[in-house]
C-alpha cells in the first residue's frame, strides 16, 4: 500500500519488481511534465514518473523547495528583527516589530504546524525556548533605554545576537536538513514483463490483500478526481480507510 499526499494507493504486487529510494535521475527534454526523467537501475534505463504530478497534485519536490525557502525567509526575519531593535535603541525611536513570539510570521506557522516525523519534530521542539527569549528582550531593552541605561540595552542585544539568535540560525539549518530527510521519496519499480516504469511515492505502508468483493467503480465515489489510471476504490481491512486501485496496465499503455 503506497501513500501519496495522504491518499492510499494499491498497486498490484504482480507488477512490482522492487521498491527503492529515489535515485539520481537524468532529465530528458520534451517529455510530459510528470516525467522527471530516467534512472539507471543496474544498467537498465527506466522512466521515473512523479506520481503526484501524474495525479494533478503538487510535486513533493515543490513542497520541499517551498519549505526550505520559508525557513530561509523566517531566519532572515529574526536577523532583521534584532537589527531593527538595535537601530530603534540607537535612534531612540519606537520599535514597531512583533514582540509576541506566537504572532511573528514564524510563530504563527510554528504553533500551527504538525508533523508525524519524529526526527523533524525533535528539531522543531528546540526552537521553543530561544525563539521566545529573542522576542522577550524587546521590552527589556526598551525599558533600559527609558531609564537611561543605554549600555545595558546594548549589552542585552549583543548577548542575544551571539547567544539565542545564533542558536536559532543553527536550528533553521538543522530544520532544513531534517525536513529534506523526512521527505525522502521511494520509487516503486514496475514491470509488465517487457517494459519498466518507476513511480515516486511518499511512502509504502504495507503489503496486503484487497477483497475484490469490496471494490467499487471509481465513478461511484463522490468527491475525488476521476484520474484515468485509477480504476476502482476499495475498503481496507481493520477500518484502515479506503484505497484507490491503480490501473498499472493503463500506465504502461500511456507510457506512464
Instruction: Give the three cell numbers for residue 240.
Output: 484502515
In this prediction, residue 251 carries a pLDDT of: 87
Q: What is the pLDDT of residues 160-178, one digit of tens each?
A: 999 999 999 999 999 999 9
**Closest to 214 (Cα-Cα) out of 247, 239, 191:** 239
In this prediction, residue 220 carries a pLDDT of: 53
What pTM did the predictor assign? Answer: 0.83
Least confident of 30-44, 165-179, 216-230: 216-230
In this prediction, residue 233 carries a pLDDT of: 82
Q: What is the pLDDT of residues 58-85, one digit of tens each?
A: 999 999 999 999 999 999 999 999 999 9
Q: Reply yes or no on whether the pLDDT at 247 is more than 90.
A: no
Instruction: Give me the residue spans of the domains in the chain.
Output: 2-57+185-253, 62-182
Domains 2-57+185-253 and 62-182 share a fold: no
b (16+ CB within 10 A) / e for 193-226: eeebbbbbbbeeeeeeebeeeebeebeeeeeeee
| 2-57+185-253: CATH superfamily | CheA-289, Domain 4 (2.40.50.180)
Q: What is the mean pLDDT of the chain?
A: 91
pLDDT (average), residues 92-105:
96
Domain boundaries 62-182, CATH class? mainly alpha
Residue 239 or 192, more confident: 192
In this prediction, residue 225 carries a pLDDT of: 55
In this prediction, residue 95 carries a pLDDT of: 96
CA dihedral 88, 90, 92, 98 (to 10 degrees): 20
In this prediction, residue 256 carries a pLDDT of: 72
Amino acid at each position: 500500500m503506497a501513500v501519496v499526499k495522504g491518499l492510499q494507493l494499491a498497486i498490484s504486487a504482480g507488477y512490482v519488481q522492487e521498491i527503492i529510494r529515489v535515485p539520481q535521475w537524468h532529465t530528458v527534454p520534451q517529455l510530459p511534465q510528470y516525467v522527471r526523467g530516467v534512472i539507471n537501475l543496474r544498467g537498465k534505463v527506466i522512466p521515473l514518473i512523479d506520481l503526484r504530478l501524474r495525479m494533478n497534485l503538487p510535486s513533493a519536490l515543490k513542497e520541499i523547495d517551498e519549505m526550505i525557502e520559508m525557513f530561509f525567509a523566517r531566519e532572515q526575519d529574526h536577523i532583521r528583527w534584532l537589527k531593527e531593535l538595535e537601530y530603534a535603541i540607537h535612534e531612540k525611536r519606537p520599535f514597531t516589530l512583533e514582540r509576541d513570539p506566537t504572532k511573528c510570521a514564524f510563530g504563527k506557522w510554528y504553533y500551527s504546524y504538525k508533523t508525524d516525523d519524529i526526527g523533524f519534530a525533535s528539531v522543531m521542539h528546540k526552537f521553543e525556548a530561544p525563539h521566545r527569549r529573542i522576542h522577550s528582550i524587546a521590552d527589556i531593552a526598551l525599558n533600559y533605554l527609558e531609564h537611561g541605561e543605554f549600555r545595558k540595552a546594548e549589552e542585552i542585544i549583543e548577548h542575544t545576537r551571539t547567544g539565542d539568535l545564533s542558536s536559532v540560525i543553527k536550528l533553521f539549518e538543522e530544520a532544513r536538513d531534517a525536513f529534506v530527510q523526512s521527505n525522502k521519496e521511494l520509487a516503486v519499480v514496475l514491470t509488465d514483463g517487457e517494459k519498466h516504469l518507476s513511480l515516486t511515492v511518499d511512502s509504502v505502508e504495507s503489503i496486503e490483500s484487497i477483497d475484490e468483493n469490496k471494490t467499487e467503480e471509481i465513478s461511484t465515489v463522490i468527491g475525488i478526481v476521476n484520474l484515468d489510471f485509477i480504476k476502482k476504490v476499495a475498503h481496507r481491512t481493520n477500518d484502515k480507510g479506503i484505497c484507490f486501485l491503480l490501473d498499472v496496465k493503463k500506465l504502461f499503455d500511456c507510457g506512464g
